[in-house]
């Protein structure tokens, strides 16, 4: 009979072995079934957007705390990376303070015909009603690893060419019937995971058949997860999910795609969606990607971190509830095994270190440093011309006037009407979007109009002015 101490040691070793086996890839030939990492094995609760706040403008986590959507674009994550590579990518993004990873289950580029790194295709005979278990065990591993690192997944069940092959590879494989079955499968499988469902996938809704497919997919997801997760839709370039589904209950918040180039005026597009009578949160889910050829032509040059910053601050200060960053090399995980899409030029591992991704954490820190559920866009703060193009000045403030942020995209001087704010004295600070550092300007009486000149100007010299009611206990530094 085995002694009691030995049984304890044996049990500990068995438990360790079972835990390690969940980290190992399935063998395609042996068809080994791997256990999922259960919630009990993860020592924390990953925050993810699960509710909309009472004023309809912002997102909350399951506990009712404000959730800032800082997304990264990883469309081909499930399809092109092995587990070691996926972990490397996710650790980098967690370290840079991203909160959501946007990834596609049925990927755009040969997602139905080119197996993932473990030799698995997602569907049997391209039938959404017949998902392949081995492929989804691979997806499970990435979802669980993201959860372990405190990252939510913005999961696209499919890219749009599978229900509207307006362009791309297709084929169109969805009907309303199989979309509902596939949605229920996904909903049940990821019911307990930190997920946001993102329907669509860069295609317009052009007819009733396509609309019925998306509605059925949404209904299936809700049936599967019991309504536990929010849903939205990723639209094609220049459009918003509000163009088709604004008044439908399943659409919890709006996504926009404002495109890839220089000085795209996403603040106008955010403002339009923000002003709709049926109020829902909104965000730019596909702005200009870092290292993307401007307007899809390498002769125009490549989008840099400055363009990425402008898109983030303009959108957020115009009323967005969060923002998605993208890197052209990373969404496709560019490597020697794959042909570059649209003149991509930087291997994905090297692209992880492009400056724009690191700088996104500073805008998150800035927004979270003040009460942001009551933050409103307010261009009436400006007593001078707001400008356009790279000289655009965008303003936002607390609805009680206790603080304001003003973004000057090129360091252009501006004048503010301080009567829009509150408090006897204002504390003023310059915030550097490139570094997250702040520099105090001083305190002054709040009256009339006042001019401000950023520390530097010209292309690449963007600045944020922070104005606070001096009586409030807001932090001088917003965190780095």
- For the stretch 204-223, pLDDT in tens is 999 999 999 999 999 999 99
CB atoms within 10 A of CB 455: 11
Cα–Cα dist 291/325, whole Å: 12
Average pLDDT over residues 80-89: 98
pLDDT, position 476 = 86
pLDDT, position 248 = 98
pLDDT, position 198 = 99
**Which structure tokens are listed for 125?**
């005979």
Cα–Cα dist 369/195, whole Å: 25
Average pLDDT over residues 225-233: 98
User: Is the pLDDT confidence value at 394 over 70?
Assistant: yes
User: Is the pLDDT confidence value at 3 over 70?
Assistant: no
What domains can you pick out in the chain, each with its CATH number?
35-368 (3.20.20.80), 375-469 (2.60.40)
**Which structure tokens are listed for 254?**
């709006």
Cα–Cα dist 353/303, whole Å: 15
Nearest to 157 by CA among 213, 208, 206: 213
Structure-token match 């009472």, residue found: 54
Report the percentage of the chain scoring pLDDT > 70.
Answer: 90
Residue pLDDT, tens place only, 180-199: 999 999 999 999 999 999 99
pLDDT, position 478 = 79
Residue pLDDT, tens place only, 344-381: 999 999 999 999 999 999 999 999 999 999 999 999 99
Nearest to 228 by CA among 200, 252, 261: 252
Q: How many separate helices (H) and strands (E) can be counted in the chain?
A: 12, 21
User: Is the pLDDT confidence value at 127 over 90?
Assistant: yes
Average pLDDT over residues 139-148: 98
Cα–Cα dist 422/403, whole Å: 8
Average pLDDT over residues 164-169: 96
Among positive and negative, which fits the CA dihedral 422, 428, 431, 437? negative
**Which structure tokens are listed for 290?**
């870092």
**Which residues does 436 contact at the CB level (< 8 Å), separation at least 6?**
359, 361, 362, 365, 366, 478, 479, 480
Nearest to 77 by CA among 173, 185, 151: 151
pLDDT, position 83 = 98
pLDDT, position 479 = 61
pLDDT, position 30 = 30
User: Is the pLDDT confidence value at 326 over 90?
Assistant: yes
Is 290 in contact with 353 (CB distance < 8 Å)? no
216 sits in which H/E element: helix 208-225
Report the percentage of the chain scoring pLDDT > 90.
Answer: 89
* 476 vs 243, residue with greater confidence: 243
Q: At what angle do helices 133-148 and 83-95 cross, to 10 degrees?
A: 30
């Amino acid at each position: 009979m085995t002694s009691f101490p030995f049984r304890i040691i044996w049990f500990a070793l068995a438990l360790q072995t079972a835990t390690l086996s969940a980290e190992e890839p399935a063998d395609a030939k042996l068809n080994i079934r791997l256990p999922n990492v259960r919630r009990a094995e993860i020592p924390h609760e990953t925050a993810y957007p699960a509710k909309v706040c009472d004023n309809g403008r912002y997102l909350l986590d399951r506990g009712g705390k404000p959730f800032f959507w800082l997304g990264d674009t990883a469309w081909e994550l499930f399809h092109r990376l092995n587990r070691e590579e996926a972990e490397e990518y996710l650790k980098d993004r967690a370290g840079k303070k991203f909160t959501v990873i946007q990834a596609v289950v049925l990927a755009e580029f040969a997602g139905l015909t080119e197996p993932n790194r473990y030799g698995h295709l997602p569907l049997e005979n391209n039938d959404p009603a017949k998902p392949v278990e081995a492929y989804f065990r691979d997806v499970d591993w990435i979802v669980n690893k993201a959860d372990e690192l405190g990252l939510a997944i913005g999961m696209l069940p499919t890219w749009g060419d599978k229900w509207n092959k307006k362009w791309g590879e297709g084929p169109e494989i969805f009907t309303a019937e199989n979309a509902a079955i596939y949605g229920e499968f996904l909903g049940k499988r990821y019911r307990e995971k930190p997920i946001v469902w993102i329907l669509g996938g860069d295609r317009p809704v052009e007819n009733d058949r396509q609309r019925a497919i998306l509605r059925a997919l949404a209904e299936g997801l809700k049936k599967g997860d019991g309504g536990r997760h929010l849903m939205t839709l990723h639209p094609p370039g220049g459009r918003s999910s509000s163009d088709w589904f604004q008044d439908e209950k399943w659409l919890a918040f709006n996504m926009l795609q404002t495109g890839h180039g220089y000085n795209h005026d996403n603040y106008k597009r955010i403002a339009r969606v923000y002003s709709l009578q049926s109020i829902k949160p909104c965000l730019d889910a596909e702005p200009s990607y870092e290292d993307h050829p401007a307007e899809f032509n390498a002769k125009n040059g490549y989008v840099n971190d400055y363009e990425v910053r402008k898109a983030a601050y303009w959108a957020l200060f115009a009323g967005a509830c969060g923002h998605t960053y993208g890197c052209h090399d990373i969404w496709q995980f560019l490597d020697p095994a794959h042909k570059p899409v649209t003149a991509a030029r930087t291997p994905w591992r090297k692209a992880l270190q492009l400056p724009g991704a690191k700088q996104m954490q500073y805008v998150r820190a800035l927004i979270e440093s003040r009460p942001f559920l009551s933050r409103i866009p307010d261009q009436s703060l400006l007593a001078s011309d707001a400008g356009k193009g790279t000289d655009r000045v965008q303003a936002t403030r607390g609805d009680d006037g206790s603080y304001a942020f003003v973004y000057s995209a090129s360091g252009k001087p501006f004048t503010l009407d301080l009567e829009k704010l509150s408090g006897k004295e204002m504390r003023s600070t310059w915030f550097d979007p490139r570094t997250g550092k702040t520099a105090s300007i001083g305190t002054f009486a709040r009256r009339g109009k006042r001019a401000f000149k950023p520390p530097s100007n010209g292309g690449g010299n963007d600045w944020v002015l922070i104005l606070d009611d001096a009586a409030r206990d807001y932090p001088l530094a917003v965190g780095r």
